[in-house]
Structure formats: structure tokens, C-alpha cells
Amino acid sequence: MKQIAVVGVGYVGLVTAACFADLGNKVIALDIDEGKIARLKRGEIPIYEPGLEELVRRNVHAGRLAFTTSYKEALTGTEFAFIAVGTPEGVDGEADLRYVEAAAKSIAKTMQEPLIVINKSTVPVGTGDWVANIVREHQPQPVPFSVVSCPEFLREGSAIADFMNPHRVVLGSTDKDAAEKVAQLHLPLRAPIIVTDLRTAEMIKYASNAFLATKISFINEIANICEALGADVEEVAVGMGYDPRIGPLFLKAGLGYGGSCFPKDVKALAHMAEEKGRHPQLLHAVMDINADRRTMAAARVQEMLGGDLEGKVVGLLGLAFKANTDDMRESPATDIARALQEAGAAVRAYDPVAMDNARALLPDVTMCADPYALAEGSDALIVVTDWNEFKQLDLERVRGLMRQPVVFDGRNIYDPAAMCRLGFHYRGVGRGYNGECVQEAADQDA
């Protein structure tokens, strides 16, 4: 059993702490937010992540996981200190490292025995060297330490499974012995372990996220072309995905990527490239295509409602940027709601878990108790988040509650033919436009 400190109890930090504890280690999770730590000590989980509450409770009960605001308590007897604080987007797209800097300084001032400092946060290339300099400069007296980069590859909504069953573990350090010790921590996961230098490890994280974001923007560009040519992007993606050089994952046309990682990381990588005099035109195209998805959704609904949204009521099915999370960061729902409101529409919304977080961002959006309350009196619905709950709705009931049976399916969760048979004026993403749906809906309304 190893003793581990994890600095930061956000998505990455809390999942990392709980999972390492579940592997049999003694873990102390630290955060300077006293309110957040107090909630965790009471057994309250500050984020929504399936399975996390039970995992935390089990390991706290077993005495393997504890929470503190004290660096002294967290670092006493500790061999490994993971920095897992936030790195939000800065003014020009660069990563804001103020929390990483503060954590490194606090570690330096507190540590009394040899320590391996592990960067878990997503940080710009070169941050490992920078953190090492900070620790060295702020130690009251020299204490041996090493810095290792161990980038996270956790998806919100499946973070525990991703931690416990990783495709690979990436480690970077100038100290091979330190990297080997961190590798030993990850051996129970039985995953390939890549050991490289600090900067290469940091770059692997950015390059991975940028590539996945590129796949999403690529299939959305193909969806636009499919709409114009009458092809079905869903079947195109299936046909592409069987090619092992391409693969089926991240070829899901829709409203683009969001959340805390892809938007921030693509911007940060482009910023790093530009600072070095490079021209990251592909990255800029990826971001431009993604931004267009949000305006596209509002424009499609306006078109489906005859070109005028003034006085119309539009409901958003989903608010979180993806299913199985309450995260509203860079969610398409925010931009779509604002575009609809600017065009004169009244916007209402429903999400199983994200409405509390959404209220602060969208104060003029009416939050509804359930999907049927959302549908009642609406002129149109937009599927924003592909929650399983929405796939199982009584669509005949939904149609009967709506003022106009208009549905724009931004996640392609419904079968177009079935929606047409039910009398909806329906449109998906990249699936062509079936004009008979409009006529059938109009006939049933007459």
C-alpha cells in the first residue's frame, strides 16, 4: 500500500483519489475550497459522475480515503503527490496555470521528505519543467523531489471505467526511477505503460484530444454535405467505421463537442503553436466547424417554423454537453438558447441532472419538471443531449402536447421514418430532409 496525496477534488482529482484508494492505497484528497471538503466529509459528492458516490463512500468507510484542506496533513508520510487542479481557458486561449502554480508552491513550502510530484492536470507542453523550477525555488530547504507527467484520459460520464480500464498509461519524466515508481502504481490496471520525457507526455495528451475533436468536426462537415446531397450520415459513418484505419468512434454527427477538455485543449494547442510561429490551420478549422453547429441548430428550427421565431416557444431536450454528466461547460445548449432568444423565441428546457448548473448560465430559460411539461405548448423541440431517458419518451403523447409538432434532433436519437409516421415535422443532422414529413404533419393538424 502506497500513500498518495491528490491536490484538487474536481472531476479528475476526485475520481483519481477514489480509484487509487479502491486499488488499496491510502489516499488523502486536498482542496483549498473549505466548503467542498466539508461536503465531501459529510458524504456529499459535489459533481455528478455515475458510480462515484458509492466508490467514495466505500473507500472512506474502509479508511483508505480522507479529505483535508491542509497541505501538511496531506503530505506527511506521502510518497506521491498528484496535482489535479483546474486549468481553465485564458484570455487568448492559453491554459490558465494559476492553480497549478499555487499547488506547486504550497507543495514546495510544506514537503519535509522526498516526494514525486505528478502533473495530472492538462497542462501546456513545458509545464513539467516549470513546476520543477517552482518547487525548487520555493522550498525553505532542499528536499529531494522529481516531477512526472501523467496526463488523464477520463471521459465525463464514464470516468471510473476509464481510470480502471485505460487504453494506456502515459508517463513522462527526466527521472527514470521516479517514472518507474509511478508506473508501479498503475500496474494493477494491466494497461500498456508508455514512458517518455516530460514534454512528449504532455504533447500526447493535447494531440490525442485534438485528433478526437477533429474526427467530430470532420463527421459534422460530412453531415452538412450529406444534407445537401441527400445521403444519410449515420450510414456513411457506419461504412467508414469498419475500416480499421478510421474506426467507428467519434464519428457521431450532431451538435459538436463541448465540456471541459476538447474546447479548451484545442484552443490551447493552437495558441502554443502560434506562439512558436506555426500556423495551426487544421485546428482553427476544427474550432470553426464546431462553433457553426450551434448556430446551425437555431437556424434549422427557425426554418422549420417558417422563418420567424418571434413569439414562438422552443424547448431544449437536454442541457449538459453530453449524457451522464451535469457539466455545462461549453455546452451547445447555452449558445443555442441565446441564439433562439435573440431571434425572439421563448426558451424552456429540461435535463435530468444539469438544470441546477444551467440556471446561472441561462437565467431567462424556463426549467421544466419533465420532458412532457417541456413539450406542452411548445412550437418546437430540439434534442440537445442524448440522454437515454429521451430515447424512451412516449412520442405520441409528446406530439399531442405540442402546439406545433416540430422536432429538430441534434443528436439523431430518433428514427426519421417513425417520427414521420407519428406526424412530426422532423429533421435530424445529416440525414437529408424528407418533405413528406411536413405535409403529413400539416394534414394531421388540419
Catalytic positions, written as ranges: 261
Cβ atoms of 310 and 349 within 8 Å: the answer is: no
**What is the CA angle 321-324-326, rounded to 5?**
55
What CA–CA distance (Å, rounded) separates 371 from 394?
10
Reduce the DSSP state of residue 218 to 3 states and report it.
helix
The three-class DSSP label of residue 315 is: strand
Q: Tell me the C-alpha to C-alpha distance, in Å, between residue 119 and each of 89, 186, 432.
A: 18, 15, 46
Q: What secondary structure letter does DSSP report for 188?
A: G
Whole-angstrom distance, CA of residue 339 vs CA of residue 425: 21
Residue 412 CB neighbours (<10 A): 21
Q: Whose CA is closest to 318, among 411, 380, 386? A: 386
Are 420 and 404 spatial neighbours (Cβ–Cβ below 8 Å)? no
Q: Whose grid coordinates read 422549420?
A: 304
Quote the CA–CA distance of 292 and 81 in Å, as a whole number.
Answer: 41
C-alpha cell at 70: 491542509
Q: Which position has the grid cell 493535447?
A: 206
